[in-house]
Amino acid sequence: MEHNDSNQHEDTADREGGQDLHPLIAARLEKMDELGAEVPLYPYSFDRSHTSLEIREGEGPLTAEGVKVRYPGRIMAKRGTGKTLFVPVQDEWGRIQAYFKKDDLGEDAFRRIQKLIDIGDWIGVEGTLFRTRTDELSIHVTDFTFLAKAIRPLPEKYHDLSLENKSRRRYLDLAMNQESRDRFKLRSSILRDVRNFFDAEGFLEVETPVLQPLYGGATARPFTTHHNALDMTLYLRIADELYLKRLIIGGLEKVYEIAKDFRNEGMDRTHNPEFTMLECYAAYWDYRDMMDLTERLVRRLAGNFGTDGRLQYGEHQLDFSQPFRRVTFMGALAEAVGRDLMVVPTDDLAVLAREKGVELKKGMGRDKILDELFSLLVEPGLIQPTFVMDHPQELSPLAKAHRDHEGLVERFELFVAGFELANSFSELNDPREQRRRFLDQKALLEAGDEEAQQLDEDFLQAMEHGMPPTGGMGLGVDRLIMLLVDTNNIRDVLLFPHMRPEVSTDAG
């Protein structure tokens, strides 16, 4: 089978400039010229009668009644003798074999399909169904239409399509792997089920701005852009929290958004600079109400897309059918280090962090040190669904002070398989306290903490009009889907993940 070197970068425009082409591409261009002189290569449409799924499901009646089917797809292989040709043709749902016979089609038509069509080309076939001697469901072709000539060959599935190329050239991954097509269809089904859940819970789906004059709602570095007409700096949102809270202030009592957020940070197996976040807010709720909602949501998804509320994720079987474990942030950290860090002075905390392997950076305050220690010492062991509750106030400038424990806030994070899946607060609704928290963040920003939040005066003015008690929750959709499809890399659930620039080579 001919195949393409996955590192090829030849531009077909070079043909006009007289430069050398890869032999496989040059051969296809020659076929294209010969074939194009005889028949149209890029028609406008094709009147399909059945998909591959419909053909397989309706095989009995279609075959018995001799129904002619019209079926389009991509050619995935070619084999045959001098007078017959077997060609698997693939659409979105699978493959159906097309059977071409010289005596039925005539010499000229058979020559075109035998000599001039390549693997990767698109074709539409018409004919009746039958089973071959090897029991392969096939279409006995009486007519066919060229739909698109592929100038570049497809890669060989096991040799040329590396893990990186699957992410960098997703169209090839989808063309070669039914598993990948199924995975991204499953992603769509999961998102539909999430929406159905929130709609049934009485939440209103809304949309908030992607371009924002101030970024906020999370601790992260933003992407910056410029609006020419207004001559102003704008930021891609790092979270939609502050706009959703404005809607609560306006009287919409339950809102949610499934949104693209953008954070100018590193990339690893659970982070991509562009990602999908679910955020929801409910008036008159607190973080315990949100904890119950989050548990219902995740348990429902595990039930619908797993087995009896259980998911196999790598070497772990995750059980969502039982009540989720609940621990406190400082309690889990104290257990990991053997002492209560709430009473440890900041300088001593920094020494401890260095001893444990935390890399201290300029401007890193007490909150960041605690967070880094938790990430290093506690998170990897949180495999089964676990709510981590009641964080130090410094870590959560938008959360409400804990009603029972001074110095803590009412917050939870949901961890599964060693990474954070969701985050929730009893939302701060005292505008004076919110202003003080923003000023503390501003001081951290001026001290060099690039991820500290800005003071948002417009949001504060909105709060000063009165914000009811509110519970809020954000959930990482891509990470959720990683769990549900059993992959440990976020790239596998993003159709077009961000990649480092490809190193150019001079493959000939």
User: Is position 376 within any domain?
Assistant: no
- Residues 164-174: what's their mean pLDDT? 89
**Structural domain of 82:** 14-160
Q: What is the 8-class DSSP label of residue 132? A: -
Written as six digits, the tokens of 365 are 């305050």
Helices (H), 410-506: 431-446, 457-464, 477-485
Strand 94-101 to strand 137-148: parallel, antiparallel, or no bridges (unpaired)? parallel
Q: Give pLDDT tens digits for 478-503.
A: 999 999 999 999 999 999 999 888 77
- 129 and 261 fall within a common domain: no
User: Is position 489 within any domain?
Assistant: yes
What is the total count of domains within the chain? 2
Give the Cα separation of 207 and 362 in Å (integer). 37
**CA quadruple 126, 127, 129, 134: dihedral sign:** negative
- 428 and 292 fall within a common domain: yes
Strand 325-328 to strand 386-389: parallel, antiparallel, or no bridges (unpaired)? parallel
Look up the CATH number of the domain holding residue 398.
Answer: 3.30.930.10
Residues 6+ apart with CB under 8 A from 279: 239, 240, 241, 244, 256, 257, 259, 472, 473, 474, 475
pLDDT in the model for residue 500: 86
**CA quadruple 488, 492, 493, 496: dihedral sign:** positive
User: Is position 362 within any domain?
Assistant: no
Residue 435: is its pLDDT beyond 80?
Answer: yes
User: Is position 477 within any domain?
Assistant: yes
- 298 and 423 fall within a common domain: yes
Q: Of 93, 128, 160, which residue is a domain's last? A: 160
- Residues 6-12: what's their mean pLDDT? 43
User: Is position 210 within any domain?
Assistant: no
Q: Give pLDDT tens digits for 336-371.
A: 999 989 888 888 899 899 999 888 887 677 888 999
Written as six digits, the tokens of 412 are 């939870």
User: Is position 277 within any domain?
Assistant: yes
- 261 and 391 fall within a common domain: yes
- 154 and 301 fall within a common domain: no
In this predicted structure, which of 78-92, 233-247, 366-380, 494-508 has the lowest mean pLDDT?
Answer: 494-508
Q: Of 130, 160, 190, which residue is a domain's last? A: 160
479, 304, 471: which is closest to 385 by C-alpha?
479
User: Is position 2 within any domain?
Assistant: no
Q: Of 160, 185, 201, which residue is a domain's last? A: 160
pLDDT in the model for residue 20: 65
pLDDT in the model for residue 104: 94
CA angle 165, 166, 169 (to 5 degrees): 70
453 — pLDDT class (breaks 50, 70, 90):
confident
User: Is position 332 within any domain?
Assistant: no
What pTM was estimated for this model as a whole?
Answer: 0.88
Give the Cα separation of 326 and 324 in Å (integer). 6
